[in-house]
Amino acid sequence: MDKHPDKPARKPKHASLIQQGKTFTEADYSLQRLLGGMSVEKFLAEHWHKKPLLVRQALPDFGDWLNRDSLSELACQDNSEARLVQFKRGLCQLEYGPFEPEELSGLPKKNWSLLVSGVNHLLPQGDWLLHRFDFIPAARLDDLMVSFAPPGGGVGPHFDSYDVFLIQGQGRRRWEISAQDDLTVVEGAPLRILKEFRVDQSWELEPGDMLYLPPQLAHNGVALTDCMTWSVGFRAPKSDEIVGQFLTHLQDKLELPGMYADPELKRPKHVAEIPSAMLDWAEKTIRAAVRWDKAEIADFLGRYLSEPKAHVFFDPPERPKSLAAFSKAIRKHGVALDARSQMLFRGEAFFMNGERLEASPPLRAKLCDLADQRMLPPSKCEQEQCPELVGLLHLWYQAGYLFPAGLSPAGLSPVGLSPVGLSLAE
Ligand code: SIN
Ligand code: CO
For 18-27, the pLDDT digits (tens) are 434 555 555 5
- Measured in whole angstroms, the distance separating CA 400 from the mean position of its chain's CA atoms is 18
Mean pLDDT, to the nearest integer, of 353-357?
97
The CA 418 to ligand 1 mean position distance, Å, reads 30
Closest atom of ligand 1 relative to the 219 alpha carbon:
7
Query: Please, how many CA atoms are within 13 Å of residue 359, restricted to the half-sphere of its CB?
Result: 28
Q: What is the pLDDT of residue 89?
A: 84
Closest atom of ligand 1 relative to the 147 alpha carbon:
2
Q: What is the bridge-based pairing of β-strands 218-223 and 81-88?
A: unpaired
Nearest residue by C-alpha to atom 5 in ligand 1 = 231
- Split at pLDDT 50, 70, 90, the class of 66 is very high
Residue 288 has pLDDT above 70, yes or no: yes
Is residue 292 within 8 Å of residue 379, measured between CB atoms?
Answer: no
Ligand 1 mutation pick, 166, 175, 192, max ligand atoms within 8 A of CB: 166
The CA 160 to ligand 2 mean position distance, Å, reads 5
For the CA of 85, the nearest ligand: 1
Ligand 1 mutation pick, 92, 115, 144, max ligand atoms within 8 A of CB: 115
Counting residues of the chain whose pLDDT is more than 90, the rounded percentage is 79
- Split at pLDDT 50, 70, 90, the class of 379 is very high
Closest atom of ligand 1 relative to the 173 alpha carbon:
3
Mean pLDDT, to the nearest integer, of 347-372?
95
Q: What is the pLDDT of residue 284?
A: 96
Nearest residue by C-alpha to atom 4 in ligand 1 = 155
Ligand 1 mutation pick, 86, 116, 146, 231, max ligand atoms within 8 A of CB: 231
Q: What is the pLDDT of residue 9?
A: 40
Q: What is the pLDDT of residues 6-17, one digit of tens each?
A: 333 443 444 344
Residue 416 has pLDDT above 70, yes or no: no
For the CA of 215, the nearest ligand: 2
Element (H, E) at 234: strand 227-234
Across the strands, what pairs with 345? 350
Is residue 375 within 8 Å of residue 336, measured between CB atoms?
Answer: yes
Is residue 392 within 8 Å of residue 355, measured between CB atoms?
Answer: no
Nearest residue by C-alpha to atom 1 in ligand 1 = 147
Query: Please, how many CA atoms are within 13 Å of residue 340, restricted to the half-sphere of its CB?
Result: 26
Q: What is the pLDDT of residues 234-265, one digit of tens each?
A: 999 999 999 999 999 999 999 888 999 999 99
Using CB distances shorter than 6 Å, the residues near ligand 1 are 113, 147, 154-155, 160, 164, 219, 221, 229, 231
The CA 310 to ligand 1 mean position distance, Å, reads 23
CA distance 382 to 344: 23
Using omega within 30 degrees of 0 as the cis cutoff, is the peptide bond preceding 361 cis? no
Q: What is the pLDDT of residue 25?
A: 57
The CA 160 to ligand 1 mean position distance, Å, reads 9
Nearest residue by C-alpha to atom 3 in ligand 1 = 154
Closest atom of ligand 1 relative to the 158 alpha carbon:
7
Residue 29 has pLDDT above 80, yes or no: no
The CA 208 to ligand 1 mean position distance, Å, reads 16
Q: For residues 424 and 87, which has the higher predicted lDDT (pLDDT)? A: 87
Q: What is the pLDDT of residue 30?
A: 86
Q: What is the pLDDT of residues 189-211, one digit of tens each?
A: 898 899 999 999 999 999 999 99
Domains parsed from the chain with CATH numbers = 15-234 (2.60.120.650), 323-422 (3.40.366.30)
Residue 411 has pLDDT above 50, yes or no: no
The CA 276 to ligand 2 mean position distance, Å, reads 54
The CA 306 to ligand 2 mean position distance, Å, reads 24
Mean pLDDT, to the nearest integer, of 120-127?
92
Least confident of 47-56, 67-76, 268-277, 411-420: 411-420
The CA 136 to ligand 2 mean position distance, Å, reads 19
Q: What is the pLDDT of residue 382?
A: 87
Mean pLDDT, to the nearest integer, of 66-85?
95
Q: What is the pLDDT of residue 21?
A: 53
Q: What is the pLDDT of residue 163?
A: 98
Q: What is the pLDDT of residue 418?
A: 34
Q: What is the pLDDT of residue 302?
A: 98
- Split at pLDDT 50, 70, 90, the class of 126 is very high
Closest atom of ligand 1 relative to the 153 alpha carbon:
3
The CA 285 to ligand 1 mean position distance, Å, reads 49
CA distance 229 to 286: 50
Ligand 1 mutation pick, 112, 119, 142, 145, max ligand atoms within 8 A of CB: 145
Mean pLDDT, to the nearest integer, of 135-143?
97
The CA 230 to ligand 1 mean position distance, Å, reads 8
CA distance 412 to 419: 11
- Split at pLDDT 50, 70, 90, the class of 368 is very high
For the CA of 229, the nearest ligand: 1
Mean pLDDT, to the nearest integer, of 49-58?
97
Under DSSP, the state recorded for 282 is H
- Measured in whole angstroms, the distance separating CA 43 from the mean position of its chain's CA atoms is 22
Q: What is the pLDDT of residue 188?
A: 86
Torsion of CA 424, 211, 172, 36, to 10 degrees: -60
DSSP codes, 288-329: HHS---HHHHHHHHHHHHHSPPTT------SSPPPHHHHHHH
Closest atom of ligand 1 relative to the 154 alpha carbon:
3
206-239 in b/e form (b: 16+ CB < 10 A) is: ebbbbbbbbeebbbbbbbeeebbbbbbbbbeeee
